[in-house]
Each structure stands twice: as structure tokens, then as C-alpha cells.
Structure 1
Amino acid sequence: MLAQAHYSLGKEAHAILLHHCNNLRVRLETLTQASNPTRFYHGFQHTFLFVLKGEVFLKHGQEDMLLKMHQGTLLSKLNTTIATVLTPQVEICVITFFHEPNTVSESDFKKVSSGTVEALPERLGVTSWPLWRGKSGTVSINLYPAHYKESTYYHKSTEQFLLPLSGEPLEISTNMQTAKKLSESGLFIEKQTPKAFYNISDNSVAVLSIYTPHPEKGRVMLLSKATNQ
């Protein structure tokens, strides 16, 4: 994993490399109408684009779509995608999987959100909306109910990156340590790392969850308890 890097995309626009390893890269881009109203994306790898704030219009070939906050799409590998910023400022999370088999077709260029995919109930009242799933990983929106807490567990061969979307920050314990709030720059959790999530607020909390590779069935539970404040 590389340290987070900041670089300019023009006046008042920039990108932050939130995470980069052999099989996953997560980049946060802030674009403005004033400095770079148009941006080009080349989907040489399997790249999923997710809008955190604002609105952007995408076009590739003869297809186009409007993406609003918390909507995303898998970018085409067949053509360059042109993104036009429609609001004064846009924040985009660009997620790239490096080891996905080359199976992307034109039909994969479609808008996905919690309103277009089926919600999947998970443990202890958590709701998940799988936005994209491939052999190399998954991208989903997870909603944790108020006062949520769970036992410590780990995944044998799956890594996870989390980014806050709405509500009070989720609190996360790793390696049996005191839980800390999920920062705006996200958190990467390596495979076989003990972890536990807590929502101590009175409202639900939404996060963007990225797994690589796709989680194996089940999780390894630990008897010891993590500490949350």
C-alpha cells in the first residue's frame, strides 16, 4: 500500500490517491466547472466511477447518462468516456480493479444506485446494495442501523476499503484496538485483520464498501471483544 498522494487537476481541482496496491486503486477527484468542466476517462482497467457530491454527465460512443450523488457506473473499456461537470463542484470516487478478467461489454455501461439494484439484508439489520460485482471484487453501499454493534471477525483472503457517505462516521476497531471514527479519506483493512464496526448514533450510517477479491462465504469470528467508545 502506498501513502496517500495529492496532485493538482487544475485551478481549484485536485485528486487524492486514497489507496493503491497490487489489485486495487481508489482515487478521490474534486472537479469544478470553472477549472476543468470536462474530463476524459480511459477504462484500460476495470474502473468503477461513483459520484459522492454534485452531478456529472457521461458520454462514450453513442451512449450517455447523468450521474447524481451516490450513483455510479462501470466505465467502458471500448471507448474513452467524456465526463462533463454539471454543478459548480463535483466529487468523484474512481475505483480501479487491476486483476478483473476482460469481460466488459457495452451493456456494462449503465447507471447503478441504491434505487436501481435489489437491497440485500445482511447480519444484524445491515442493508447492502451491490452496485458492481466481479471476480476481483465488489462495490456496494452498506447501511448500518442506529446503535449497531458486532462481534470481532476477519476475512481470510479479502481486503476491504471503506468510505463514509452519510450520517455520523461509523466507528471501526481493527486488531482488537479501541474503535476510531471512519475518516473522510476512508480506511483500508488488510486481509486477516480482526475488525468490528459500530454505529453509536441514533440514525443509520451509510458507507461505500469495496472488497477485493469478492469475500469468501462466511467470516472467521473471534472470541475476544474489541473496545468501542
Structure 2
Amino acid sequence: MKATLGQDSWQNIVHHSDLLSIYEIQLSMNEHANHNIALPFDSLLTVTEGQIFLESEGEETSLKANQAAWLSHNQPLKCVALSDSVRLFIVVFVGQTKRDRKRCERFASGTEHKHQLSSGITHWTVESKDLGKIEWVMLPALHKEPAYYLKASEQYILPLNHNGALSITYDQKTAYAIDKSGIVIEKSCSRSLINRSSKPITYLSIISPYPSRSRVLKV
């Protein structure tokens, strides 16, 4: 469901379930630079294009592309576009009200724990087991994951350096390109991500609830 906020500004509901609600918002400095938000559940806001200024109860910060911030439930937030156009996503953890810090806590891949696997995949993991598992993931060039599934968790995948090369295949069948609004994978759904590019691709992965077990490889 897409709601227009102006000719070049809009808000779109990408996904809604019992676990996650995902909003995609585009703001234009020339017509709808200010946008006020207050959500009933704990959330994560990330910027994919442009730069934005955030103000909440006396706290101020700014986010550039590929940076993120935690939001607590019922936290009043004012977003102001600092570039001609800003594109941001808000992932709401439905039912979660455990955060009590009414501040915009900013973070990015460069500030988080980095771990590189023998496969060449790099993870920057944000620890928040109350809400889910949040991490930036960088796939090497021309890399294909083995098929796996998450038994009881949904996963949202958002390409950050989007060029149409990040694809997904279900049960080793036809591969589908993941568009710039990302994709939600339901629990127990077997999948495999593919980087068709000759360069690494980075994406944001949000898994909720936090998986009690690691991913299960599909045999």
C-alpha cells in the first residue's frame, strides 16, 4: 500500500506479518522534507540513499546511506531530508516493547563486530537478541550460497549497493532478482542467495525472532 506525500515523496508498506512490518519512505527536500514518526513497537531505521537528520526528545543525530538507528516504541521522531532525495526503511518488530532508551542510537557496519568466513562472506553483526539478529552481509563476487532455511524466523533482505545482481532461488529452482525494496522470506522456506556481479554485494539482513538455532542446510 503506497501513500503519496507529494510528487516525489511517498510511504509504502513493503511487508506486514505477525513478526515484522516494513515501511519504505522517500522524502524530497523540495516538497516534503520533514516527516514525523511514532511507532507502537521497537524498530530499526536504515537509510539507503541520501542523508537524513533525526530529532527525538532533545536528541539529535544524522544518518547517511547504509547507516542505521534503533528506535524505541512510542518514541516521537522527526526526520528531515538533508539531501535532494532521501530513501529510508523502517523495520518494526511487531509486539516488541523491551527497549526503553528514547534516543536515536546510530550504528553502521564499520562500528560493529566483523567476522569473515572461510567462504569469503563477511558479516557485521549487531547484537539484539530481544528483537532479532541484525547484520550487514557482504557476498563475494559470483558467489552462490548453499540452500538453507530458518525453522521459526522470518528474514528481511535489503540490498544496499543495489544493481539488480543480488538474486534468490527457492529449492534450487528459477533465480529471481531482488529489487531495491528488498524481500521477506517466510520461516521454514528454503532459499539460496546468488551474487551475479563481478564485484562484492552488501545487504542488510534482519531475522526475527532471533534464531534459537543457526540456519539449517537443505540436503
Aligned positions of 1:5-20 closer than 5 A: 5-20=1-16
Partner in structure 2 of residue 73 of structure 1: 69
Query: Bigger CA drift: 64-73 or 171-180?
Result: 171-180
Question: Partners in 2 of 1:97 and 1:123 — Cα distance?
Answer: 32
Q: Which amino acid aligns with 1:16?
A: N
Residue in 1 that maps onto 2:139: 144
The number of equivalent residue pairs is 218
What CA distance in whole angstroms lies between the structure 1 residues aligned with 2:133 and 2:111? 16
Q: Normalising by the residue count of structure 2, what TM-score does the alignment of the two structures yield?
A: 0.91
4+ residue stretches of structure 1 with deviation over 3 A? 76-79
CA contact (8 A) 1:147 1:199 kept: yes
Per-residue deviation, 1:131: 4.0
Length-normalised TM-score, structure 1: 0.87
**CA apart distance, 1:159:** 1.2
Cα deviation, residue 72, structure 1: 1.0
Long gaps (5+) in structure 2: none
Amino acid of the structure 2 residue aligned with 1:35: E
1:154 partnered with 2:146: no
Superposed displacement of residue 79, structure 1: 4.1
**How many angstroms does 1:68 deviate by?**
0.7
Deviation at 1:101, TM superposition (A): 4.0
**Corresponding residue to 2:216 among 202, 211, 220:** 220
**RMSD, aligned CA:** 1.9
| Contact 2:148–2:215 under 8 Å retained in 1 | yes
Structure 1: gaps spanning 5 or more residues: 224-229
| Letter in structure 2 aligned against 1:113 | A
CA deviation after TM superposition for structure 1 residue 22, in Å: 1.2
SS at match of 1:105: coil
Report deviation, 1:109.
Answer: 2.5
Cα offset, 1:132, TM superposition:
5.7
